[in-house]
């Protein structure tokens, strides 16, 4: 049976982090290889450490070992899959287009997840989508600003 809770923890983190990284590094005129490499490090290392954190938390909450392991594995695979989809966008598209496509793809994924969660909780899907995408857009704007600061500080245009 599909358990939305196993996907809901890591999914938004992978989506928003990937969008922010692509926009921020793209603004700082990072090479495509640097962006892909950064996404892969996040997709493997950061997602694994976050999944481990979830697992340890679940053990502290005395969740059954089998259920904790299953949730941890599902969380990791979901996050890695999401990150890999952003890697494909960067590899297949020119930099400016990749950034726009990444934001569109990320908002689509986050909106879909927000919709499913809202329906499961029986709350307004529109409100949840606006709230979650608003936070994501705030992170993207901050990442763009950081990219501009890096570009200005290094003189690379």
Query: Number of folded domains in the chain?
Result: 1
In a domain, 137, yes or no: yes
Please state, in angstroms and rounded to a whole number, the distance separating the CA atoms of residues 33 and 31.
5
Tokens of 80: 């890695």
In a domain, 118, yes or no: yes
Q: What is the pLDDT of residue 1?
A: 44
Answer for the pair 22, 35: CB distance below 8 angstroms, yes or no.
Answer: yes
Three-class SS state of 1: coil
List all residues 6 or more positions away from 53 whose beta carbon is below 8 Å from its beta carbon.
Answer: none
**Cα 5 from chain centroid?**
16
In a domain, 157, yes or no: no
pLDDT per position in the chain (157 positions), as tens? 456 665 666 778 889 999 999 999 888 788 899 999 999 999 899 888 888 888 888 888 887 888 878 888 888 888 899 999 999 999 999 988 999 999 999 999 999 999 998 998 899 999 999 999 999 999 999 999 998 998 888 877 6
What pTM value is reported for the model? 0.86
List all residues 6 or more positions away from 137 whose beta carbon is below 8 Å from its beta carbon.
Answer: 107
């Amino acid at each position: 049976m599909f358990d939305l809770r196993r996907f809901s923890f890591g999914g938004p983190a992978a989506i928003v982090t990937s969008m922010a990284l692509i926009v921020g590094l793209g603004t700082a005129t990072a090479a495509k290889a640097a962006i892909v490499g950064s996404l892969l490090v996040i997709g493997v290392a950061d997602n694994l450490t976050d999944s481990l954190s979830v697992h340890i938390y679940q053990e502290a909450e005395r969740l059954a070992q089998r259920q904790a392991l299953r949730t941890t594995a599902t969380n990791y695979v979901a996050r890695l899959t999401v990150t890999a989809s952003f890697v494909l966008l960067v590899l297949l598209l020119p930099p400016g287009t990749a950034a726009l496509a990444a934001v569109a793809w990320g908002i689509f994924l986050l909106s879909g997840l927000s919709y499913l969660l809202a329906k499961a909780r029986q709350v307004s899907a529109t409100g949840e989508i606006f709230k979650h995408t608003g936070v994501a857009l705030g992170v993207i704007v901050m990442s763009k600003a950081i990219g501009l600061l890096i570009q200005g500080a290094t003189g690379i245009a």
